[in-house]
């Protein structure tokens, strides 16, 4: 009976939704009929740097967009020279994408999205240009900090919550950059060549999950793919995105990513934004590729107006979805304490404890008398760094401030800068001497260093690590930090190294003599407080790396197997599907810290793995986790699959599920998950389809990709 009622309710839901869809589509067609060609064309290209034109007489508003993935951008100039009218634009600065993904907590992805959506609604933005989900193919990519992971499954899980969170607040999300923006070097021209298998298994799944989650808009990427710009790429946009996946919203170009009017018209680019021209004052937006030329082409009969109608239709769908036409958008909230607490929570769950020998951490403020905090990143504010994702933070707690807040004058805190972070800076003996002098007198040293975040959007240079438009020149610790750390290690054995940054850094010199290492990312406006909570054990760390940290750059898969940054024209992804841990584990290359790694102040024990085969090659996996330590903590249980024998080579392990569980000391919980048939498939690009080959599969369960506690074989057919 219950089932029948549920089915009836479901049916009713489907009928009501499709009736609403039909009614909206009718309204859209009626509006399109009333529009002139010029009005339609006005809607498909920028009329300022962050909006497209509306049609006032028909009640169609301008479509207003804002960056970015971890906070609503400050009011950018309309045409890069005239600022928008002054407004309240210092907002909540959330932790960056890589930190969010390190939480391995999709529910937090949702909370994160809610903050962003609510603040965007308050600021009267219609579209927020995020999340950014390009695969972290190589450790040097300047924008890895904005993205989420090297693993398509983890991205697919995290992206859903983010999108729903934003869109439930009445603002459209814009997942970006579709696809293959995996390096900033020559991003505007480089042609990416990859196998169909790598495309399907690694680079597309996150975007597919976003479309399935109902993302309203998508942004094309700058680069080319198989010889055609991604933003107007017939295969990617027409065939896959709009064909196979049936995406109904607009595909927005990246800023200046359109290069050809006919291709943009025919290959599915619905809105052209930016362009290099937009950087110039007095820009004439009607000269965009999708501007006046389109009007002339239609009038000359060289382009069918129906192609333009289709673009307008897609834009109007977003406008109706969020009640923009009726002018009834949701109000939203700004800079609330609740938003700041979400920023804190994400940072606390995202910061990763990489190493903790002799239980140096957590620090105990009642037994420690003095701490030397060393390093420029302890005081450097990061929110305004990075390029288009920069956020004017309402406030930002630096690591030093967070530590001071926590100890509340109960412990003596001394600070020394230790190194300079301007362009070309190397070890500074005077600063090192000052730092060593403080370190030798302190009970504990907290060194805060790593990468820096380029400050200024318009000043891209090679000092701007973790910034748009530049990649890192190498993986070496910049500014002579190795010399500094070595000197500090000699002065004081009790040193914690806190690494700020958007990804791996070469730690081979500093790691062996450092007892504790914490990966702090760019952790948002509450980052300093979150870090202190972790260092002093108020928060038990539970973050796990969403990307492999190789020991040396030469060990990274894109460098070892693939090509990076290519020959100036093409970059061939010869690393294929062997990205990140898929490479390290299959080719036995030990990383510095593995994908999925992250320590806690407690320990977890995995037991009782049971595999049960259900019909349709579904496998039920169950196991228990026990907190065997003395404090409460959360563990991310990771489930990997390995096919024992396959027609084409497969990785040693692929993440297929994970769950984050919180356990009290001594508590045991049973985890039961179902691996559906697709968890065992791979894309056979000789057959051009996903295949499930019969045979044996190993299910591996553990707390990190290099820490598998349980494994069993299951046979499928
Ligand atoms: C970036 C996008 C961003 C856009 C607008 C581009 O340079 O690649 O991610 O949304 O600028 O600022």
Distance CA 242, CA 236 (A): 9
- The answer to whether 151 is a known catalytic residue is no
How close is the Cα of 467 to the center of ligand 1, in Å?
A: 12
At 16, the pLDDT band (50, 70, 90 cuts) reads low
Per-residue pLDDT at 75: 81
pLDDT at 84 over 60: no
How close is the Cα of 572 to the center of ligand 1, in Å?
A: 24
| Nearest one of 551, 448, 452 to 507, comparing CA atoms | 551
Decide: 388 in ligand 1 pocket, CB within 6 A. yes
pLDDT at 435 over 80: yes
Which residue's entry shows tokens 């391995």?
104
Structure tokens at 125: 């933005």
Per-residue pLDDT at 457: 44
Q: CB-side exposure of 12: number of CA atoms within 13 Å? A: 6
Query: By percentage, how much of the chain surpasses pLDDT 70?
Result: 94
B/e letters for 17-51, b = 16+ CB within 10 Å, e = fewer, are eeeeeeeeeeebeebbeebeeebbbbbbbbbbbbb
How close is the Cα of 218 to the center of ligand 1, in Å?
A: 12
Angle at 226 between CA 184 and CA 127, to 5 degrees: 55
Distance CA 340, CA 391 (A): 14
Structure tokens at 537: 């054990």
Distance CA 610, CA 471 (A): 45
How close is the Cα of 197 to the center of ligand 1, in Å?
A: 28
Cβ-contact 472, 465 below 8 angstroms? yes
The dihedral of CA 559, 565, 567, 573: what is its sign? positive
Pocket mutation for ligand 1, best pick of 65, 116, 129 (most atoms within 8 Å of C-beta): 129
Query: Which of 67, 79, 254, 471 is an active site residue?
Result: 254
Decide: 150 in ligand 1 pocket, CB within 6 A. no
How close is the Cα of 468 to the center of ligand 1, in Å?
A: 9
- β-sheet with 495-500: strand ranges across: 352-356, 516-519, 495-500, 444-450, 370-374, 412-416
Distance CA 53, CA 63 (A): 7
CA-nearest residue for atom 2, ligand 1, is 254
At 189, the pLDDT band (50, 70, 90 cuts) reads very high
Reduced 3-state DSSP string for 437-467: HHHHHCCEEEEEEECCCCCCCCCCCCCCCCC
Strands 570-572 and 604-614: unpaired
Which atom from ligand 1 is nearest to the alpha carbon of 132?
Answer: 9
Cβ-contact 644, 698 below 8 angstroms? yes
What are the two backbone dihedrals, phi and then psi, of residue 11, each rounded to the nearest 5 degrees?
A: -60, -45
460: exposed, middle or buried (Cβ count in 10 Å: 0-12, 13-18, 19+): middle
At 384, the pLDDT band (50, 70, 90 cuts) reads confident
Across 555-578, average pLDDT: 95
Distance CA 163, CA 175 (A): 8
Q: How far is CA 212 from the centre of its chain?
A: 18
Cβ-contact 580, 606 below 8 angstroms? no
pLDDT at 14 over 70: no
pLDDT one-digit tens code per residue, 235-289: 999 999 999 999 999 999 999 999 999 999 999 999 999 855 545 566 789 999 9
Residue 190 CB contacts under 8 Å (≥ 6 apart), including other chains: 183, 223, 224, 565, 566, 568, 569, 570, 571
Query: By percentage, how much of the chain surpasses pLDDT 90?
Result: 85
Whole-model pTM: value is: 0.96
At 453, the pLDDT band (50, 70, 90 cuts) reads confident
Pocket mutation for ligand 1, best pick of 190, 254, 274, 458 (most atoms within 8 Å of C-beta): 254
Decide: 79 in ligand 1 pocket, CB within 6 A. no
Number of other CB atoms surrounding residue 684 within 10 Å? 17
Strands 604-614 and 618-627: antiparallel
Packing angle of the helix pair 106-122, 337-350 (nearest 10 deg): 150
């Amino acid at each position: 009976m219950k089932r029948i009622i549920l089915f009836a309710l479901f049916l009713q839901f489907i009928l009501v939704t499709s009736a609403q869809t039909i009614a909206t589509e009718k309204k859209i067609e009626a509006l399109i009929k009333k529009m002139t060609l010029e009005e339609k064309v006005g809607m498909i290209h920028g009329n300022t740097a962050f909006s497209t034109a509306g049609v006032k007489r028909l009640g169609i508003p301008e479509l207003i967009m804002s960056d970015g993935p971890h906070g609503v951008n400050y009011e950018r100039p309309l045409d890069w020279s005239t600022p928008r009218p002054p407004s309240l634009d210092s907002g909540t600065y959330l932790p960056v994408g890589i930190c969010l993904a390190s939480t391995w907590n999709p529910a937090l992805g949702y909370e994160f999205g809610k903050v962003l959506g609510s603040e965007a609604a308050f600021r009267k933005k219609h579209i927020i240009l995020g999340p950014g989900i390009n695969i972290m193919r190589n450790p040097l990519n300047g924008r890895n900090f904005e993205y989420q992971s090297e693993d398509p499954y983890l991205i697919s899980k995290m992206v859903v919550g983010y999108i729903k969170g934003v869109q439930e607040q009445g603002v459209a999300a814009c997942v970006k950059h579709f696809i293959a923006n995996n390096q900033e070097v020559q991003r505007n021209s480089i042609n990416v060549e990859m196998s169909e298998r790598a495309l399907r298994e690694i680079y597309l799944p996150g975007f597919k999950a976003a479309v399935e989650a109902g993302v309203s808009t998508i942004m094309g990427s700058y680069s080319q793919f198989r010889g055609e710009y991604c933003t107007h790429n017939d295969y990617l946009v027409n065939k896959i995105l709009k064909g196979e996946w049936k995406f109904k919203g607009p595909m927005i170009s990246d800023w200046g990513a359109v290069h050809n009017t006919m291709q943009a018209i025919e290959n599915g680019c619905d809105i052209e934004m930016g362009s290099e021209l937009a950087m110039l004052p007095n820009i004439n937006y009607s000269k965009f590729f999708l501007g006046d030329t389109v009007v002339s082409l239609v009038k000359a009969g060289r382009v069918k107006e129906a192609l333009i109608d289709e673009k307008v239709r897609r834009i109007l769908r977003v406008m109706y979805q969020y009640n923009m036409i009726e002018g009834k958008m949701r109000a939203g909230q700004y800079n609330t304490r609740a938003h700041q607490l979400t920023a804190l929570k994400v940072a606390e769950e995202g910061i990763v404890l990489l190493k903790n020998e002799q239980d140096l951490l957590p620090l105990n403020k009642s037994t420690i008398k003095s701490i030397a905090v060393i390093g420029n990143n302890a005081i450097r504010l990061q929110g305004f760094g990075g390029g288009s994702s920069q956020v004017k933070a309402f406030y930002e707690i630096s690591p030093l401030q967070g530590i001071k807040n926590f100890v509340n004058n109960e412990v003596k805190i001394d600070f020394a800068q230790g190194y300079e972070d301007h362009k070309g800076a190397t070890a500074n003996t005077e600063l090192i001497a000052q730092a060593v002098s403080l370190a030798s007198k302190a009970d504990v040293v907290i060194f805060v260093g790593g990468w820096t975040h380029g400050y200024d959007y318009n000043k891209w240079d090679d000092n701007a690590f973790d910034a748009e438009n530049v990649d890192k020149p190498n993986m070496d610790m910049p500014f002579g930090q190795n010399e500094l750390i070595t000197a500090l290690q000699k002065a004081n054995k009790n040193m914690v190294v806190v690494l700020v940054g958007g990804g791996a850094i070469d730690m081979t010199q500093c790691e062996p003599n450092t007892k504790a290492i914490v990966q702090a990312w760019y952790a948002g406006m509450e980052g300093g407080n979150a870090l202190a909570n972790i260092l002093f054990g108020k928060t038990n760390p539970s973050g796990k790396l969403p990307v492999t940290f190789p020991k040396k750059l030469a060990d990274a898969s894109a460098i070892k197997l693939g090509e990076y940054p290519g020959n100036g024209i093409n970059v061939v992804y010869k690393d294929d599907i062997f990205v990140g841990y898929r490479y390290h584990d299959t080719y036995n290359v030990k990383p510095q810290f593995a994908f999925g790694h992250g320590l806690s102040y407690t320990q977890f024990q995995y037991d009782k793995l049971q595999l049960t085969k259900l019909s349709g090659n579904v496998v039920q996996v169950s196991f228990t986790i026990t907190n065997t330590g003395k404090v409460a903590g959360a563990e991310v249980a990771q489930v990997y699959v390995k096919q024992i024998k396959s027609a084409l080579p497969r990785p040693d392990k692929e993440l297929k599920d994970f769950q984050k569980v919180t356990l009290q000391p001594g508590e045991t919980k049973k985890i039961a998950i179902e691996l559906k048939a697709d968890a065992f498939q791979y894309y056979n690009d000789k057959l051009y389809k996903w295949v499930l080959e019969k045979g044996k599969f190993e299910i591996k369960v553990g707390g990190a990709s290099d820490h598998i506690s349980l494994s069993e074989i299951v046979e499928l057919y």
